Structure 1
Amino acid sequence: MSQYYPIDTSSSLISPDISTNNLQPTKPLKLGVMASGNGSNFDVVAQAIQEERLNAQIQVLIYNNPSAKAAVRAANRGVEAVLLNHRDYKKREDLDRAIVKTLQQYNVDLVIMAGWMRLVTQELIDAFPDKIINIHPSLLPSFKGVRAVEQALAAGVKITGCTVHLLRLEMDSGPILMQAAVPVLPDDTAATLHARIQIQEHRILPLAIAAIGNR
């Protein structure tokens, strides 16, 4: 699969077969976005659509945290947001059934997990086979799970990054769609390193959405 490797935080090198032009889906993708927190990746996708760099439309934002800023971002962009608070469901499967029902109601083609902080079940995966993508702040398969940036710093690696991949039941294990490498600097903290990783997340997520939507 194609990969995208930024050289540093100010410039980037894109593989010859990757460009925003040859990745554009032939018809608009209908996206469902799932987020739990700040929603910066939601905003990046919405901005790429507004600037016509991504041929898509966000049908709905689903969020599970009542205080998630992602809902405010959705309102500011005129995107409908649906709260499905995980605390209202006894089992993960019950929550995922509600998610599936909502996504189907909005006629979604592709599901984007943009900072969704809940483990999913087969209920969701089976409803959208190979149509759910996740973004993770490491170069998978290294540093799966939570606190990936802190894991990278503790391991003393010189390069980390971010990965867009297809969702599977096992955490952070699905086929890789696109990656971006980020150098670890000698004076990095979790905050500074995460900020530079997020820059690259924002670059590759719209590209990965376009790439999978064009299959």
Structure 2
Amino acid sequence: MSSDSPSKKQCRVAVLISGSGTNLQALIDAAARDDADFTLSAVISNKPEAYGLTRATEAGIPAAVVDHRDFPNRDTFDRALIEEIDRHNPDLVVLAGFMRILTPEFVRHYSGRLLNIHPSLLPKYQGLHTHQRALEAGDSEHGVTVHFVTEELDGGPAIVQAVVPIEAGDTAEQLAKRVQVQEHVIYPLAVSWFARGRLRMVEDRSELDGELLPRCGKQLAAAD
């Protein structure tokens, strides 16, 4: 029986990036597995120099640039970005280090099918410099959250979190590296849940397998 059955890889995923694309690479690797249930239909960057575009090209994924510097404001940029994304007909849009604040129009257009990953245990430490803020607060644990995107910055319904212990003497850089390892585990996991029809957004909550998840999402201990 053929392993490339047409029933596989039905969920089309567009990935938005701004930089090197390490989470993109984790998704590329996951999509390349024989048992993958999603395919990457496009990688789009707001920066033409982003290394993630090279990763996409090498993996045979259509890559495009919509440079925010070519537009007079966020509204016109986001409309152009929507147009480019929709050309690839994705079922899901994934933000993977996409360093732009999105307009309400953009978020509403993809409501319920727009995911982001944030390096903290949301709702803690929305915004930037999360690792340093966790250390300065004297926290015993830190981590990363995958969530649906809503109009509130880093405030959409949490889907899954990986909890990373903070070790004595940790620097922000050391902590960031350990958190990033977990990013590469839970982002493909959340995308796979969505691709299989197991995950959806219900009002202000995430639902997995027909059950509402806790406000913090499904919590996982850090995987080695």
Identity %: 37
| Larger RCO (CA under 8 A, 6+ residues apart) | 1
Matches within 5 A, 1:91-170: 91-170=73-152
Counterpart CA distance in 2 for 1:115 and 1:84 is: 15
Separation of aligned partners in 2, 1:96 and 1:194:
30
1:172 is aligned, of 136, 145, 154, to 154
Residue deviations 1:118-146, cap 9 Å, x none?
A: 10011211211110000000000001101
For residues 53 and 171 of structure 1, do their structure 2 counterparts lie closer, same or farther at Cα, with a shift above 3 Å needed? farther
Q: CA deviation at 1:27?
A: 5.7
Q: Deviations over 1:178-201 (max 9, x none)?
A: 100001111111111001001111
Contact 1:54 1:206 in 2 (8 A): no
Q: Which string of whole-angstrom CA distances, capped at 9 and with x for unpartnered residues, describes residues 94-126 of structure 1? A: 111111111111011100000011100112112
| Cα pair 2:8 2:38 within 8 Å, conserved | no
Deviation readout 1:49-107 (Å, 9 max, x if unpaired): 11135311111111011221111111111111111111111111111111111111101
TM-score by length of 1: 0.85
Q: 2:164 aligns with which of 182, 193, 198?
A: 182
SS in 2 for 1:118: coil
Partner of 2:203: none
Q: Distance in 2 between matches of 1:190 and 1:54?
A: 34
Q: Alpha-carbon deviations, 1:131-168, whole Å to 9, x = none?
A: 00000000000011011111111111010100000001
> Aligned residue pairs: how many?
191
Amino acid at match of 1:183: P
Alignment RMSD: 1.4
Structure 2 unmatched runs, 5+: 1-6, 199-224
Residue 212 of structure 1 deviates from its aligned partner by 2.3
When normalised by structure 2's length, the TM-score is 0.82
- Which 4+ stretches in 1 moved above 2 angstroms? none
- Structure 1 stretches of 5 or more lacking a match? 1-24
Residue of structure 2 equivalent to 1:41: 23
